[in-house]
Structure 1
Amino acid sequence: MGRILVIGTGPGNEKYLTPVARVALEKAQAVAGGSRALMLVSRGKRKFQIKNNLHELESFVRENMDKTVAVLTSGDPGIFSILKFLLEKFDSDEIEVIPGISSLQLCFARFRETWEDVRLISLHGRNHENISSVVRNNRKVAIFTDSRNSPQKVAEKLLKELGNLKAGVCCNLTSEDEIIVRSNLMEIASGNFPENSIVVIWSE
C-alpha cells in the first residue's frame, strides 16, 4: 500500500521549496496539484491538475494508492489547504504531511514581526459578515483576500466601521512583482492591489 504525501510547496518561488519537500516530491510516482505547483514535477510521473474538481482528485488519489502519491499545496498544508478535504476522505494513517513555508509566515517576516498571536481569516470563496467584530476583538488579524473580497474592499469595509486603523498588505510574495505596504486602512482602500493577497490589521 502506498502513501499520500501532502507537500507544502511554499509561497511561490521554487527557492522556498524546502529540501525535505523536494525529496518527497522526487519519491512520488503520481502527483496532483495546481498548475503552478505541477511545474515543479519532473517528467515521467502521473499528473493531475486540481481545479474545481475535488471528486476527481479523490478518484485520482485512490487509483494511485498502490504507489506513492503526492498532493501539492501552496504555502503550508496546515493553513487553509486541501489537507482538510483529504483528512475527511482518507484515513489519517495513510497521510504524511510535509510542511512548507506559508505566505503568512513570509508576510510577517517581511513586516519583521512575530505572528504567534495573529487571528486568521480566509475570505476565499466565502463572505465574513463578522470581520469587523473579529478585528475589534483581536490585536492582530491577518485576512486572506480573493476576487470577491479584494484588499481594497476589505479595507473600505473596516475603515467605514472601525476607523483608520494601522494596516498592511502583502501581495505576490517571492515574485518580481512583490508588493509590501505597511500603512493604514485609508491608503489600502484607495490603492490598487492584486485580489489574492494578505491584509494585516493592527487594532492596538
Structure 2
Amino acid sequence: MNSTQENLQFRKVYIVGLGPGHKDYMIHGAINNLENVDVIIGFKRAIESLDSIKNNKKIVNKLSEILDYMRENKEKDISIVASGDPCFYGVSNYIKNNYEDKIEVIPGISSYQYMMAKINESWQNSFLGSLHGREEEFIEKVKSYEKSIWLTDKKNSPDKLCKKLIENNIKAEVTVGENLSYNDERIIKGSPQELENMSFGELTVVYINRVFGFRGSFATTKA
C-alpha cells in the first residue's frame, strides 16, 4: 500500500452536534474535533454559530451538496455540523443512508433537553416528535401520552398547535421555548387559550403536559 492509499484510508467524516446554539453548550469533544479537521461543512445557521472556531468552513444550501463535497474530497477530514443532536431528527440518518463510507457521530445536547433542564421537568416517558416539514399525528400522540415534546416549524407553530388542542378539548399545560440558549431566549408557559394568539419564532420547542392539568403561567428570558 503506497502512502497516498494510507492517507485515504485514515481520512474521516464526522457528524458533529452543536447543541442548542450557544457555544457554552457544545461538548468538549465537539470543539476539539472542529478545531482539528480539514474543513467544517453545514447550513448557514450552523456555520454562523461557530465564530469561536478558527478553521476552514463551507456553507451549503441543501443536503445533497454535503454528499457531493464528501465524495469529491475524500483526502480530507470533514466535519458536518448540525444544531442540537444530529441523531434526533437530524442529518445523521440522511448521510448514513446515502454515503457509502464510515461515519463517526459526535452527539450534542438537543434543544428539548436544554429546555427541559431549564424548566426543571423530567422528560422520561415523554413522546418526542418533530413537526419540521412533517405531518405527525399530533393530536393522536398528545392523547396517547401524558407528556409530549415537539420540535416545530413555521407551518406547525406553537399558536397553531394550541388551537388544535382547544378544538379537541384537550386540557394541558403548554411550555414554549424559542431561541433557546441565545441571548434573546424566551420560555413561556400557559394554557392553550393563553398561547393561541401569541407570536413565536419559526424554530421552537413545545412541551405539552397533561399530567397536572394547568398549574399557572410564567415567562422567562435569558439573563
Query: What TM-score, normalized by structure 2, do the two folds share?
Result: 0.84
Superposition pairs of residues 1-204 of structure 1, within 5 angstroms: 1=9, 2-39=11-48, 40=50, 42=53, 45=56, 47-51=57-61, 53-91=62-100, 94-128=102-136, 130-204=137-211
Q: Deviations over 1:153-201 (max 9, x none)?
A: 1111112113331111111111121111122211121222112101111
C-alpha deviation, 1:127, in angstroms: 2.4
- More contact order relative to length (CA 8 Å, sep ≥ 6): 1
Q: Is the 8 A contact 1:11 1:102 kept in 2?
A: yes
C-alpha deviation, 1:21, in angstroms: 0.4
SS of corresponding position for 1:142? strand
SS of corresponding position for 1:56? helix
- Unaligned residue ranges in structure 1 (runs of 5+): none
CA distance 1:43–1:13, change in 2 (3 Å): closer
Q: Using the alignment, how far apart are the partners of 2:139 and 2:45 within structure 1?
A: 34
Instruction: Give the greater-gyration-radius structure (CA).
Output: 2
User: What count of residue pairs does the alignment treat as equivalent?
Assistant: 200
Kindly, what percent of the aligned residue pairs are identical? 32
Return structure 1 stretches of 4+ with deviation > 6 angstroms.
Answer: none
Q: Is the 8 A contact 1:16 1:101 kept in 2?
A: yes
Greater mean alpha carbon deviation, residues 101-110 or residues 190-199 = 190-199
Q: Using the alignment, how far apart are the partners of 1:168 and 1:152 within structure 2?
A: 11
SS of corresponding position for 2:206? strand
Superposed CA RMSD in Å reads 1.6
C-alpha deviation, 1:65, in angstroms: 2.0
CA distance 1:112–1:44, change in 2 (3 Å): closer
C-alpha deviation, 1:117, in angstroms: 1.4
Q: Deviations over 1:70-103 (max 9, x none)?
A: 0001011121111111110124x61111111110
C-alpha deviation, 1:147, in angstroms: 1.0
Q: Using the alignment, how far apart are the partners of 1:174 and 1:43 within structure 2?
A: 22
C-alpha deviation, 1:50, in angstroms: 3.1
1:18 maps to amino acid: I
Q: Is the 8 A contact 2:175 2:188 kept in 1?
A: yes
SS of corresponding position for 1:162? coil
Query: What TM-score, normalized by structure 1, do the two folds share?
Result: 0.91
Q: Is the 8 A contact 1:48 1:60 kept in 2?
A: no
